[in-house]
């Protein structure tokens, strides 16, 4: 089982809307993510910087960030683009974070 972590950036004032949208995540998106082998996916917010910190476990080599060719994911990116920093294709700007310590 692999673990990956990455960060994204939320636009100021969008915390409540971000949480609401994720509380109501589309069932087909959640299923797609799980079917790709991703589990224990958490996103945390640093309110001082609006940085979102995400961590997930993967049973294979694919993370949720590798699903960008799927139409459901593309639609989600479009839906989220007004409240996050995004790339020209509306994918979230993400920065991978290397693991430097793990205690099991």
Catalytic machinery residues: 22
Residues 85, 8 contacting (CB under 8 angstroms): yes
Nearest to 94, CA basis, from 68, 59, 61: 68
**Pairing mode, if any, of strands 95-97 and 2-9?**
antiparallel
Among candidate residues 67, 99, 73, 95, the one with its CA nearest the CA of residue 2:
99
Residues 52, 60: Cα–Cα separation, whole Å: 24
């Amino acid at each position: 089982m692999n673990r990956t972590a990455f960060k994204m950036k939320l636009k100021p004032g969008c915390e409540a809307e971000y949480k609401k949208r994720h509380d109501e995540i589309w069932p087909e998106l959640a299923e797609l993510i799980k079917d790709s082998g991703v589990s224990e996916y958490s996103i945390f917010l640093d309110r001082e910087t609006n940085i979102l910190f995400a961590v997930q476990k993967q049973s294979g080599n694919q993370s949720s960030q590798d699903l960008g060719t799927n139409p459901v994911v593309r639609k989600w990116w479009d839906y989220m683009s007004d409240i996050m920093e995004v790339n020209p294709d509306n994918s979230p700007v993400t920065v991978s974070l290397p693991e430097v310590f793990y205690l099991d």
